[in-house]
Structure 1
Amino acid sequence: MKAVILLSGGLDSTACMAVAKSKNYDLYPISFNYQQRHSIELSSAKKVAKFYGVKKHLIIDTNMNSIGGSALTDKNIDVPDRDPDGTDVPVTYVPARNLIFLSYALGYAEVLGAAYVYIGVNAVDYSGYPDCRPEFIEKFQDLADYATKATAAEHKKIEIVAPLQNLSKKDIVLLGTKLGAPFALTRSCYNGGEKACGHCDSCKLRLRGFAEAGLKDPIEYME
């Protein structure tokens, strides 16, 4: 059985990959060079894909920088130091990113004849992005059921799987560790340095998850 995995190179997507691997699926990771402000996560995605010995790691080139509106695609917008428990949608939100990425992944799954698309979205310890909510995944599943020849004409359902959806960052760290996820290869920092900044939203959530799990984050941070 084949599964397409949205692999960013971060903590959550790598844990998601580990979950799919535990199901004994053939893994087909898909990553995106969307002109993000740094390439460290994409480099990490390549390392994670190599770790799992996948048959093919598809990397899509697209330009979300031309849309702008996010600190992750517009270098004129600073990445803020922010309370990760804030309720506002932060400036690091990339407009419609998961909608676009899932659409690519759905088409890829149809071509491969894959039954599953895995995405590591989370709605517990996350940055408040609207495209990480369970409602979004449910609506995309509804759309997917009508969007392709495989689903509409051939009645082959492609299931959108979000196994981390209701887990805390602590639980994601524990699950990934149990499944042997190579967290030392991952990067989550929005600033994208060789060493993680430790101050951005993503770093704070990651560090808190490891601390609550009673484990040491295996990557390096700036002093």
Structure 2
Amino acid sequence: MSDKNTPKAIVLLSGGLDSSTCLAIAQSKGFDVYALSFSYGQKHSSELEAAKRVANLSQVSEHRIINLDLGGFGGSALTDEGIEVPTENDPDNSDEIPATYVPARNTVFLSIALAWAEVLEAEKIFAGVNAVDYSGYPDCRPEYIEAFQKMADLATKAGIEGTGVKIETPLINLTKPKIIQLGLSLAVDYSQTVSCYQADEHGLACGQCDSCLIRKAAFESAGIADPTRYR
């Protein structure tokens, strides 16, 4: 049972490497953590199963999974059956926003977290966005987070009263190897996480999508054995 005097924080928890590290950071800072995940129409549920495991192992005060149908709009390789997830064998389009970008996903997720934060009277929302070793999504950039913070301050009762929730992105300027090293120092069990864009029903990673390649390279660069389960 959480202490009513302990400050509360919401952590956006996808079940991946970054969000699991963020959860550990929030707890290390003394926050009573409420984890928030989304079933948004993604093609596989392995990340959500990972989120459940991480939340349970971390003994968060509450873990909620919100059902959304972003897949109904399509437009992303993660939600649209008509769009294939790019792999290392595909042509290099590194200057373009990748097909795995989900339109407005972080804006939707942060907005729902903001609503729950007001109800809980939480002080912080932790999001594991990263602008260094990432896939080039526009809603992972520092200027986006700054703009959302301004909106949150203007759009909420708590913000107007001067007690608005603050968006924390402790990983935004870290390289992926540094994130892994930080997480390990906080006892994050990365074997329980899933980052693959097309993991199978057992949570086994493809090893070829952008997310898998970034994750594999990060463990190698950090000099740490990769605990990811590949198919």
Deviation at 1:97, TM superposition (A): 0.2
Secondary structure in 2 matching 1:57: strand
Secondary structure in 1 matching 2:62: coil
1:5 aligns with 2:11: yes
Deviation at 1:55, TM superposition (A): 1.8
TM-superposition CA deviations, 1:5-45 (whole Å, max 9, x none): 00000000001111101101000010000010000000000
1:108 aligns with 2:116: yes
Which residue in 2 is equivalent to 1:132? 140
Partner AA of 1:213 in structure 2 = A
8 A contact 2:153–2:159 mirrored in 1: yes
Name which of structure 1's ranges 79-88 and 42-51 shifts more when overlaid on structure 2: 79-88
**Gaps in structure 2 of 5+ consecutive residues:** 1-6
**Gaps in structure 1 of 5+ consecutive residues:** none
Instruction: Please show how residues 200-211 of structure 1 align to structure 2 within 5 Å.
Output: 200-211=209-220
Partner AA of 1:169 in structure 2 = K
Instruction: Name the TM-score, length of structure 1 as normaliser.
Output: 0.96
Instruction: Please show how residues 1-223 of structure 1 align to structure 2 within 5 Å.
Output: 1-82=7-88, 86-152=94-160, 154-193=161-200, 194=202, 195-222=204-231
Give the whole-Å Cα distance in 1 for the aligned partners of 2:196 and 2:227.
14
Give the whole-Å Cα distance in 2 for the aligned partners of 1:184 and 1:85.
30
Identity %, equivalent residues = 52
Deviation at 1:176, TM superposition (A): 0.5
Give the whole-Å Cα distance in 1 for the aligned partners of 2:98 and 2:36.
25
8 A contact 1:84–1:126 mirrored in 2: no
Give the whole-Å Cα distance in 1 for the aligned partners of 2:92 and 2:198.
15
Give the whole-Å Cα distance in 1 for the aligned partners of 2:9 and 2:189.
19
Partner AA of 1:114 in structure 2 = A
Partner AA of 2:192 in structure 1 = L
Secondary structure in 2 matching 1:31: strand
Deviation at 1:157, TM superposition (A): 2.3
8 A contact 1:84–1:205 mirrored in 2: no
Deviation at 1:219, TM superposition (A): 2.1
Count of residues paired in the alignment = 221
Secondary structure in 1 matching 2:212: helix
Give the whole-Å Cα distance in 1 for the aligned partners of 2:180 and 2:198.
21
